[in-house]
Amino acid sequence: MDYLIFARWFGIVSVVLSLGILFNLEDALEMAKGMIKTETGYIMGGVLPTIFGSLALLYSDCFGFCWSTVVIFVGGSMLAIGIFRVMFVKRWKETMENHLEQIPFLFSLFGLMLGFMLLYVGFFAHAFDFTFKH
């Protein structure tokens, strides 16, 4: 799995999930309230970003300035967020509870931005790079 496959896959997943949340903000708010109180929130908020972030870094093939740098940045950010959420669960839960009303919309907004950026990297950016070797 190279960075293009990861960018395409995670871009599609991110856009679909973000649109689902955006079109169902009230339901997403209720789910967020429930996730804070159960183990599901721990898994979804901490474990999954750690897994996917580390996978993005493990399968990166270029650590210089190239399009995979975007995927490396996304993977590194996910890994850092996941580690923070796993290591500081109490602080993460407090932050979630304090800003619960804004979280579904912001999650959707950032998910769409991330998803479209990854879709661009995965499907279009290499078409303009004449030195692309994959």
Give pLDDT tens digits for 15-24: 999 999 999 9
- Environment class of 78 (CB within 10 Å of its CB; exposed 0-12, middle 13-18, buried 19+): buried
CA dihedral sign of residues 86, 89, 92, 97 = positive
In which domain, by residue range, is 100 found?
A: 3-124
Q: What is the pLDDT of residues 87-117, one digit of tens each?
A: 998 898 898 899 999 999 999 999 999 999 9
Residue 55 belongs to a domain: yes
Report if residue 61 sits inside a domain.
Answer: yes
Residue 27 counted as domain residue: yes
At 26-59, the pLDDT tens digits run 999 998 888 888 877 877 888 989 998 998 888 7
Overall number of domains in the chain: 1
